[in-house]
Amino acid sequence: MSDATNLTAQIDINTIPALGKEQLLELAMGPQHPSTHGVFRMNVVLDGERVMKLKPVFGYLHRNHEKIAESETYLGSMPYTDRLDYICSITNNWAYAIAVEKLAGIEVPERAEYLRVITGELTRLQNHACLLGFLMQDMGASGTPLMYAFREREKIMDLFEGLTGARMMCNYLRFGGCRVDAPAGWMDAARKVVAEFPRFLDEYENLLVGNEILMDRTQEVGILSKELAINAGISGPMARASGVDYDIRKVDHYSIYDRFNFRVPLGERGDVYDRYMIRFLEMRESIKILEQAMRDIPDGPIVDPKTKIRGFRPKPGEAYGRIESPKGELGFYLVSDGALNPYRYRVRPPSLINLTVLEDLCIGQNVADVVVILGSIDIVLGEVDR
Amino acid sequence: MVGKGIIKGMVETARNFLGSYVSKQRLTTIQYPEERAPQIEAARNFPFLVFDGTDAERGLRCVACQICEKECPPKCIFIEKSKDKKPDATGRMQFYPATFNIDISVCMSCQICVEVCPFDSIKMDVVYDLSNNDRFAGLLLHKQQLAKSNEYYNTIHPTEAAAVDAHFAEERAKAAAKVKAAAEAKLAAEAKAAADSNAKAETPLADTQAQPVGGGTR
């Protein structure tokens, strides 16, 4: 294994023309390739099995999200943010709500903050469980691990449906709070799901963590160095797997995260295996946060009654709101000119920015590894293309 | 030992497979068309219009204020206001929608129309088997298809509907009180007018007698 990595380290992309074009194969992986998590194309140049060059092509799912938001009211863009990263809609709502609250100077009641943390961390559990399933699917473990992960995701989606009315497109947060309070019995159901979740994690670790095939496929594959992670602006679990100690929940202390006792797991090598394992550790930390939040949640109002739903006009200015979404730093930048709709609306999508290092991770690896590396980056094309 | 991890994983799979025969928790699949999961109360799908009583045309709560049409993010609602008026749920004369169409192939079930509606007339439905052969006309729902009774609303969202009904009962009581007060005031005014004319004709004492009745106007 180590010989192979040394060999690949010597390959320079600039020497490719010297090898002679007839020896190289240019291949378009996607956009309909099942392993690319949506409509995403990679133009790869191969020398035998080895990747010499990789060009990502995206935009197939572009739907003008930012421009539409500039012609919608502030509330009108809230359901569109669900569709960015459609696996974790509530964290998208949250980042947007924080940006608008900063812009308009709205305070959020205590109970609403707790509800936001609870739903946000449930979203993180759901996203990471999905990712583990998808990654295994990419590696060829068809079905079983993905179905186990989806079984757990189903429980969380049922919770979301009971609270917000929708399983995926929740549209739950509002400026200055949340849309509805938890109905009777919901909190107990959520406690039950959270209490049972560690059993799934144990089962999943038994299922695959010691698996020799998995280790061969993931260890020393797609190494992202700490320097490159910082320079390329990588965030989220992917940066932490490379040893970058950066978690916005700890850095910004947004919402009420300073009240909870949790740790930020870090990886050492930054290979696919580390990126895979860090999600397990993060889920365990999320469960800790959820237990604390569900224990401490107070009674009270869930929304600031002074905030208008219709005719909401923040005063002119600009604001950037960001959160630690399950995939990394998700930010919304808004400029208001005092009208009903934002003058400028910009999303900082974690998936897109994490995807920029794909070529650096893939050069010198085998074609089969490209799929695994892409899987470990954890992209959702709804967010990459917007 | 090479293969130990694989065996460990296989044991886990076997436990799930065998467990599915005894434990409901491990057998989560539902045989869909024959067997359906229980409906979750908060669930939402597409909007519908609530009407009171038995006549969908007369009892429709919507007054064609067109707020939902304006606030709908994907602009899937189309309303045409009526020329004439009819009494609404609280008895006031209001406009009604001559046309009310929702294109559910565009609707994204965000529920903002429900949030902005000041008359509690548009609510979210829970029907999900809506497949249709006709992509355009079949998914463009008209007023007749959208109108559903308040009893139906009470069966799908009991808690929410009970709160709405309580609110309406309060409004109706208020309106009834207002009508009563207006009638009393009219009566008092008539009495007063009569008393005035009487006073002109006979004695000024009748004017003071009319005063306590006039208190009903407040």
- For residue B210, what pLDDT band results from cuts at 50, 70 and 90? very low
A221-243 core/surface letters (b: 16 or more CB in 10 A; e: else): bbbbebeebeeeebbbbbbbbbb
Yes or no, beta carbons of A148 and B116 under 8 Å apart: no
Q: From the candidates B29, B32, B40, which should be mutated to test the interface with A, based on the most A CB atoms within 10 A?
A: B40
CB pairs under 8 A between A and B: 81
- For residue B203, what pLDDT band results from cuts at 50, 70 and 90? low
Q: What is the ipTM of this complex?
A: 0.74
Yes or no, beta carbons of A164 and B42 under 8 Å apart: yes
Cα separations in angstroms, B100 against A310, B58, B84: 21, 14, 16
A72/chain B closest Cα distance in angstroms = 7
Placement of tokens 């179905």 in the chain? A147
A155/chain B closest Cα distance in angstroms = 10
Residue of A nearest to B7 (CA): A211
Q: What's the rounded mean pLDDT across residues A127-151?
A: 85
- From chain A, the residues in CB contact with B6 under 8 A are 211-213
- For residue B209, what pLDDT band results from cuts at 50, 70 and 90? very low
Q: State residue A4's pLDDT score.
A: 45
Yes or no, beta carbons of B9 and A208 under 8 Å apart: yes
Q: What's the rounded mean pLDDT across residues A97-112?
A: 88
- What tens digit of pLDDT does each residue of A212-252 get? 888 888 888 888 888 888 999 899 899 999 988 888 988 88
Sketch out chain B's domains with CATH numbers: 47-163 (3.30.70.3270)
Extract the tokens encoding B154.
């009470």
Residue B217, pLDDT > 60, answer: no
Yes or no, beta carbons of B73 and A309 under 8 Å apart: no
* Average model confidence (pLDDT) across chain A: 85
Residue of A nearest to B159 (CA): A183
Q: pTM (2 decimals)?
A: 0.83
Residue numbers of A between 79 and 108 with CB closer than 8 Å to B: 79-80, 82
Q: State residue A383's pLDDT score.
A: 87
Closest by CA to A167, choosing from B152, B72, B159, B128, is: B128
Percent of residues, chain A, with pLDDT higher than 90:
16
- What tens digit of pLDDT does each residue of B36-83 get? 888 888 888 889 888 887 777 777 888 888 888 888 888 899 988 888
- What tens digit of pLDDT does each residue of A34-74 get? 566 778 888 888 888 888 888 888 888 888 898 998 988 88
- From chain A, the residues in CB contact with B118 under 8 A are none
Q: State residue A26's pLDDT score.
A: 83
- What tens digit of pLDDT does each residue of B85-135 get? 777 666 677 788 888 899 988 898 888 899 888 888 898 988 888 888 888
Cα–Cα distance between A79 and B30 in angstroms, integer? 30
Percent of residues, chain A, with pLDDT higher than 70:
93
Cα–Cα distance between A269 and A253 in angstroms, integer? 28
Residue A284, pLDDT > 50, answer: yes
Three-class secondary structure assignment of chain A: CHHHHHHHHCCCHHHHHHHCHHHCEEEEECCCCHHHCCCCEEEEEEECCEEEEEEEECCCCCCCHHHHHHHCCCHHHHHHHHCCCCCCHHHHHHHHHHHHHHHHCCCCCHHHHHHHHHHHHHHHHHHHHHHHHHHHHHHCCCCHHHHHHHHHHHHHHHHHHHHHCCCCCCCCEECCEECCCCCCCHHHHHHHHHHHHHHHHHHHHHHHCCCHHHHHHHCCCCCCCHHHHHHCCCCCHHHHHCCCCCCHHHHCCCCCHHHCCCCCCCCCCCCHHHHHHHHHHHHHHHHHHHHHHHHHCCCCCCECCCCCCCCCCCCCEEEEEEEEECCEEEEEEEEECCCCCCCEEEEECHHHHHHCCHHHHHCCCEHHHHHHHHHHHCCCHHHHHC
Residue A2, pLDDT > 80, answer: no
- From chain B, the residues in CB contact with A164 under 8 A are 42
- For residue A286, what pLDDT band results from cuts at 50, 70 and 90? very high
